[in-house]
Chains A and B, each alone.
Chain A
Amino acid sequence: MAGATQAALDADIRLRVGKSLLRFNTCGSVDDGKSTLIGRLLYESKALYDDQLAALEADSKRVGTRPGELDFALLLDGLSAEREQGITIDVAYRFFSTARRNFIVADTPGHEQYTRNMVTGASTADLSVILVDARKGVLTQTRRHSYLVSLLGIRHVVLVVNKMDLVDFSEATFRAVEEEYRKFAAELGLPAVTCIPISAVRGDNVVVRSAATSWYAGPTLMGLLDGVEVVEARLGDQPLRLPVQWVNRPNHDFRGFAGTIVGGRVRKGDAIRVQPSGRMSRVARIVTAGGDLDEATTGQSITLTLEDEIDVSRGDLIVTANAPADVAHQFEATVVWMNESPMLRGRSYLMKIGTKTVTATVSPLKHKINVNTLAKVAGSKLELNEIGVCQLELDRPIAFDPYEVNRDTGGFILIDRLSNDTVGAGMLRFALRRAQNVHWQALDVNKPARAVLKGQKPCVLWYTGLSGAGKSTIANLVDKKLHSTSRHTYLLDGDNVRHGLNKDLGFTDADRVENIRRIAEVAKLMVDAGLIVSTAFISPFRAERQMARALLGPGEFIEVFIDTPLTVAEQRDPKGLYKKARRGDLKNFTGIDSPYEAPQNPELRIDTTSLSPEDAAELIVAHLQQRGFLTPGTS
């Protein structure tokens, strides 16, 4: 071919590859005609080849539902099991393009038991197309799908009122459906809704404006898809979010941090912060195989090198230094359950968020959501396809943004540890305990350094047991023994702390929880300072002891259960408190009118009915010795 022609072809390719990408999903009830609509879009945008058309014609004759016509739905129902059932049972991805744009469509099924597939398809969509049958209007399924769309943060919704041919293209019918839907969409807070009257079977208002709907002045479906703004730009203007996916270390001279930018942009020389550690540095290079870049933006997969040699590993989040993400380990989240085994309170799951996998424990469900009425419903567990708001407690803090700010730093999946299944998907809403605006400042003299100086490994001996069980007595003995062998220790005693730090707290359940939270935080600081800390509090609730355990590093929390039966403790009654409680002069007394949740797997159990305080103290010191806390080293 002549050079001029090659140049023209080249120019044509350059024009084509400059197109943007829009991802959308479709949802609707069974028989609303989703597959037919997508088949129609593929057909009309000339995305089908002759052999695909030939196969479609053959399939239409063989199993088609409309004799003598092309059954576009057959293009999409890929798996043979589904063809026989005549329904779509999974997510199918389809591709087509127009002169302006390329499209990826996730076709998501309508019937109830596969809500998880719809959520899957919608999770990557920029826009959702929701179908209703003009004869049936807004159904329960329509509400469910719209709610899921709003939950997943999709900003553009197109309501396709399909099968207009079956209602004689009646404007009144269309307007009634539109009005009802807009009312519901407003309740959900869906920001942009467009309603289009369509007949997917005939093609009215799909690509070409229909003569049968002269009363309709809005866009055709294809016209809308072509013109709607993609939301990518919004994320590009936010602060940098780069989850570190892989550390690239081909040799001693190169240490790069590879990842996909999920928010903002990054330039050479930018000041960055690594979360959750809080360490700071500057971007030295943005490395790609095609040469270093000066700048990279949301959506690009890049490799960064930093000016300083700081500790960065997979799961960390690199962010703009002065606009960091929040760091927390307790959250309120909305969870969509996707597994036959229900989500249970107190159960722990693996949680994958960005490139990090942590352990998440589900605190009691705050409420479930009735997706038809949006009403909050009480419940203790989430069944397949149910949605609920719950608290999650992680085994360590993570950096995050609320889901509505950023899908990638706020969206997570839950994985069952035994089956390895993806059992839930969720969206972080906000951190609990007001940890949002405080960022951990990395200090140069750190825990290991201080511990080395003291010739010990820091830890917490967390004594728990009934009032009068002997916690303070034994803790005091242990502390004396450690001190006499030159260990650096501190004993946090229940009564002493209530004289100062916690003197504003009473003995209600809520105050007890806060009491323990403060103690745990103080103990954590003391461990950070390199001390062997003892805490002697009743600490009656399992959840709070678990919280204290989660605050500390692996192995640093040693739960010592001072196991004394209530009758024995009550007999001892060293402070006369049981007598007062029995008389009713003391409310909320543990063991009497407030519960004590005994530890299930304590590191140490001390039976005070068979062991003297002195022997108990010996046993505890021996345990510390055995586990290496009394010898120098880094913990």
Chain B
Amino acid sequence: MTLTHLQRLEAESIQIMREVVAETENPVMLYSIGKDSSVMLHIARKAFYPAVPPFPLLHVDTTWKFREMYAMRTRMAAESGMQLIVHVNPEALAQGINPFTHGSAVHTDIWKTQGLKQALDKHGFDAAFGGARRDEEKSRAKERVFSFRNAQHRWDPKNQRPELWRLYNTRKHKGESIRVFPLSNWTELDVWQYIYLENIPIVPLYYSQERPIVVRDGALIMVDDERMPLRPGEKPEMRKVRFRTLGCYPLTGAVESAADTLPEIIQEMIVARTSEREGRVIDFDAPSSMEQKKQEGYF
């Protein structure tokens, strides 16, 4: 009996999660409501069954997520029986930071990067699970499964610990924390296939549907609520689209698609000619932008 590719990946992710729970004091799972988070949460529930996963979920909220994402967040917190911590950066809220007036870079930095640091510090979490995969982006391909951050949450790519076999060195100095990526070795296709096989609930935005869309700077942006100021000449029109990745709705481009079932999404993936992060506006800010964001503490 040889395990399949997905069985091996799942077993590896479970092993990583259990190691964190066994060796750290106050772990937390970053829950961003997207498909990777959904897979991560699903695996966590399997890893600790019949116990409820012994850590809370943390959502670093920007207040600019799609409405369907908030609905899913409520549902999954109830279903999993886990504590859900929602952190909203009070400074960002007070200053009314938004992607339209402040731009994607400032918006992402203040809401997400600063918000995440605040939340980790506030609750004293010493380990945080994230759903990042090595296939997403070039600088991710080199990150360790256990990624250490200093007390200022900075990542030092030149000083990473070697990871051999299944052995993870989780020892850290006071003030240091670990970002842990149990899905490191998964690809986007693996994630979709696993969602299908395991029947994992995902935000309906991933399925194609008629949605109100404006084309802005080449991206298909969904007008999810009345906060989005329309530029002259922009008029939302209903188009059959879906999302390959979910973030803040004004920063997340949709793709035109007829795929409204999981098998069709997977089929589309297999013949797809565009990688998923293209839908994210933040990657295009500057060369090496993701690496720089990570050094500054972005997840």
Contacts and interface: CB of A to CB of B under 8 A. Distances in A.
Contact of A17 (B1, B4, B164): B4
A511 B270 CA distance: 70
A20 interface: yes
A21 B273 CA distance: 24
B261 A119 contact: no
Interface residues of A, number: 78
A260 B267 CA distance: 33
Interface in A116-130: 116-117, 119-120, 123-124
Given A13-B196, A92-B141, A232-B3, A299 B164 contact: no
B18 interface: yes
A580 interface: no
B164 A411 contact: yes
Interface stretch (B29-37, B84-92, B102-110, B165-173): B165-173
A297 B3 contact: yes
Given A51-B278, A230-B2, A90 B18 contact: no
Contact of B11 (A117, A236, A300, A338): A300
A120 B51 contact: no
Contacts of A314: 22
B264 interface: yes
Nearest to A1: B264
A10 B157 CA distance: 41
B3 to A, nearest CB: 5
Interface string A234-252: 0010000000011011100
Interface in A519-572: none
A289 interface: yes
Given A9-B267, A260-B15, A102 B49 contact: no
Contacts of B67: none
Given A13-B196, A78-B138, A119 B171 contact: no
Chain A, interface SS category = mixed
Given A17-B193, A297-B1, A51 B166 contact: no
Interface stretch (B40-48, B210-218, B220-228, B235-243): B40-48
A562 B133 CA distance: 62
B8 A299 contact: yes
A577 interface: no
A215 interface: no
B163 interface: yes
A352 interface: yes
Contacts of A17: 4-6, 193, 197
Contacts of A102: 5
Contact of A18 (B4, B267, B291): B4
A87 to B, nearest CB: 14
Contacts of A421: 161, 169
B193 A16 contact: yes
B58 to A, nearest CB: 21
B193 A13 contact: yes
A322 B1 CA distance: 23
A49 B138 CA distance: 13
A380 B139 CA distance: 39
A352 B2 contact: no
A412 B11 contact: no
B288 A246 contact: no
B135 interface: yes
B272 interface: yes
B184 interface: yes
Contacts of B83: none
A124 B165 contact: yes
Interface in A196-253: 230, 232-233, 236, 245-246, 248-250
A258 to B, nearest CB: 6
Contact of A245 (B22, B197, B274, B291): B22
Interface string B152-179: 0000011011111111010111000000
A124 to B, nearest CB: 7
Contacts of B296: none
B22 A422 contact: no
B59 interface: no
Contact of B185 (A13, A93, A245): A93
Nearest to B265: A9
B164 A248 contact: no
Given A9-B266, A13-B196, A422 B165 contact: no
Interface in A89-143: 90-95, 102, 104, 116-117, 119-120, 123-124
B253 to A, nearest CB: 12
B265 to A, nearest CB: 10
B40 to A, nearest CB: 15
A95 B167 contact: no
21 contacts: A16-B193, A20-B2, A21-B5, A76-B141, A78-B139, A78-B140, A78-B142, A79-B288, A90-B157, A92-B141, A94-B135, A119-B162, A232-B3, A245-B18, A254-B50, A260-B15, A289-B49, A290-B46, A413-B162, A415-B169, A422-B163
Q: Which 3 A-B pairs have the closest CB atoms?
A: A9-B263, A78-B138, A250-B51
Given A287-B49, A422-B162, 7 more contacts: A6-B261, A9-B267, A13-B193, A13-B266, A49-B274, A94-B141, A355-B22
